[in-house]
Amino acid sequence: MTTAKLASLMARGTEFLGCESAILCGAMSWVSERHLVSAISNAGGFGVIACGAMTPELLDAEIAATKALTDKPFGVNLITMHPQLFDLIEVCARHDVSHVVLAGGLPPKGSIEAIKANGAKLICFAPALALAKKLVRSGVDALVVEGMEAGGHIGPVATSVLAQEILPEMAEQVPVFVAGGIGRGEAIAAYLEMGAAGVQLGTRFACASESIAHPAFKKAFFRASARDAIASVQIDPRLPVIPVRSLKNAGMENFTAKQREVANLLDQGAVDMMEAQLQIEHFWAGALRRAVIDGDVEGGSLMAGQSVGMVTKEEPVADIIAELMAQAATALERRAA
C-alpha cells in the first residue's frame, strides 16, 4: 500500500536513483555484496556494493556478478582513502555503474571529475552543513546526511539535528537522503516531509534472508537492544580515528589495544600518519569479516546502528521494504486525516 502522497514525496529520489522506492541500502563491508545488493534492487530499493578494501580485480568480479543477478540500477560505495581509488573508479566506468557513493572524507583531487566523466551520478556524505555546501559547489549530485545513530563509521551529530540543519538549506539544490537510526516507516515519512528525497538504511537489511552474514552474527542482532550498539573511543588525539558503532563485545576492547599499538609505532617513527590510519581501517575490515563471515561474535566486529533493537527476525528484503513503505504511507494518511 503506497499513497499518492508517499509517491509524490519520494518522486525526486526515485527519479534520481532509477528505482521504485527511494530507499538506499547503506554499504556494509562483507554484507553489501552481490546477493543482498541485487535483492534490494530487485525489490524496488537501491542496492549499493561496499567496495571497502577490495582490489580493482575483486570489484570488477563483484559488479559483474551483481549485474548477473539484477537488471535494475545499483551503486558502488568507494572509500576515499583507498590507495587504488582511481583504478576502482575506472572499473565502475567500464561497467557503466550508474551511481558511485564516495565515503570516508573529502573527495581527492580529480576524483569527482573522474567519476562523472562516464556519466555516473556521484553521491557523497555530508556530516555538516558547511561541508554539504562545499560538496555541491564541487559538483556532487546528491548527499547522504548520516547521523551518529548509524552503524559502522559515524560522525558526532545526531540524525535529527543534521536533518534540521541541512535539509532546509540543501534539499532544493540536490537530492538529500537521510540515514542513521532509521528502522520504521514513520521516521521515513517524517524525513520526507522535511524535504528529504529518500532514506538510507543498513542495520535493517543486515539480517535479511538474502544477507550472507553468518547465523551467529544475525542472532547477535536479534538479541540486541539500542543501548548495546556503542561507539568506539579515541584514545590518542593524534590518531585520526573515526568512531565506529558496534555491538559491545571483546572485539571493541581489542580496538582500544590496537590504537595503543599504532600510537606506539607513531612514537617510534615506524609509520607515518597515513599508514597509521590504514592500519586502523584494516583492523576494522578484518574484525568485521571475522564476525560477518566466520561468525566470531566475541572477537569480531558487530557493526550495528542503534536501530538494531527493531531487528527481531530474519525476513526477505522484499518484505522489509514493503513493510517500511506501508508504515510510511499509513503515517502520512493519518496526518492528512
- Give the pLDDT of residue 2: 59
Closest CA to 238 of 266, 258, 261: 266
> Cβ distance 74 to 49 under 8 Å?
yes
Confidence of residue 275 (pLDDT cuts 50, 70, 90): confident
Give the orientation angle of helix 34-42 with respect to helix 317-336, to 10 degrees: 40
Strands 244-247, 152-153: pairing kind: antiparallel
Q: Is the pLDDT score of 314 beyond 90?
A: yes
> Cβ distance 299 to 251 under 8 Å?
yes
Neighbour tally for 335: CB within 10 Å: 11
Residue 77: all three cell numbers together:
560505495
> Cβ distance 39 to 208 under 8 Å?
yes
Q: What is the pLDDT of residues 100-149, one digit of tens each?
A: 999 988 999 999 999 999 899 999 999 999 999 999 999 999 999 999 99
Length of the chain: 337
Mean pLDDT computed over 217-245:
91
CA dist 314 and 209 (Å) reads 6
Confidence of residue 327 (pLDDT cuts 50, 70, 90): very high
Strands 121-125, 99-103: pairing kind: parallel
Pairwise pLDDT comparison (285 vs 60), residue with the higher score: 60
Task: Name residue 331's amino acid.
Answer: A
Residue 161: all three cell numbers together:
539535528
CA dist 112 and 116 (Å) reads 6
Backbone conformation region of residue 121, classed left if phi is above 0, alpha if psi is from -120 to 50, else beta:
beta
Q: What is the pLDDT of residues 145-197, one digit of tens each?
A: 999 999 999 999 999 999 999 999 999 999 999 999 999 999 999 999 999 99
CA dist 305 and 108 (Å) reads 28
Residues 6+ apart with CB under 8 A from 122: 99, 100, 101, 102, 112, 115, 116, 139, 140, 141, 142
Q: Is the pLDDT score of 1 beyond 70?
A: no
pTM for the structure as a whole: 0.95
- What Å distances lie between residue 336 and 1, 6, 185, 319, 333, CA to CA? 16, 12, 16, 26, 5
Closest CA to 93 of 107, 111, 70: 111
Task: Cite the DSSP H helix spans in the chain.
Answer: 4-17, 34-42, 56-69, 85-94, 111-116, 129-137, 159-170, 185-193, 203-206, 215-223, 250-268, 273-292, 317-336
> Cβ distance 165 to 148 under 8 Å?
no
DSSP string, 259-271: HHHHHHHHHHTSS
Confidence of residue 58 (pLDDT cuts 50, 70, 90): very high
